[in-house]
Amino acid sequence: MELVDALRTHRLVAIVRGTDPSSVLDSVRTLVREGVTLVEVSLTSTDALDVLAGARAALGPDAPLGAGTVLSADDARAAHRAGADFVVTPAVCEGIRAARQLGLPVLAGAMTPSEVVEAVRLGAEAVKLFPASDAGGPAYLRALLGPFPEVPFVPVGGVDTAAARTYLACGAVAVGVGSPLIGDAADGGSSDALRLRARAFLETVATKGDDQ
């Protein structure tokens, strides 16, 4: 898949992490039905690889499906076998190189300028600014875009709808959202509430007037 094009088009990556495998899978299905195209399942979820395989079967071969919290080469290989077609890392790590060797595009976690350079050098297509809220928020993103104007940044961490709007206006290609979007749905909570949150985030990222 063309990860950067997908990020620029959809502007939202849903990060699903939970303790109840059936609820994690249901959350993925619910998000996709609501129109959230880019979804990642964190490998820290219970039975994450089985969930990924189930999601791939449910969504079909052409739907984008990501594996998150990929750290090692083994993680990347396992995610690939389970059906992921892009990976997301929390840091600059071995998983980046291994995923690229498998032909999987990578959204690599980085925080400092040196980490951004290294992530790109290892082959990451885009950089996940993480944890964005602790790094300094939108002001820090603006600072990074000075020396790295061509790097596609995706802020992750503490991104609610208001923050998403601000990050996109500051030049982020997309935002990654976990708990402010998923809530407790992946742990057995309400799917109806997840639908409402998904609609709110989709409305937010579809509003382009603030970032022209």
Contact 157, 134 (CB under 8 A): yes
Residue 118: closest CA among 136, 99, 137, 97 = 97
**Are 126 and 107 spatial neighbours (Cβ–Cβ below 8 Å)?**
yes
Q: Which residues are catalytic?
A: 40, 128
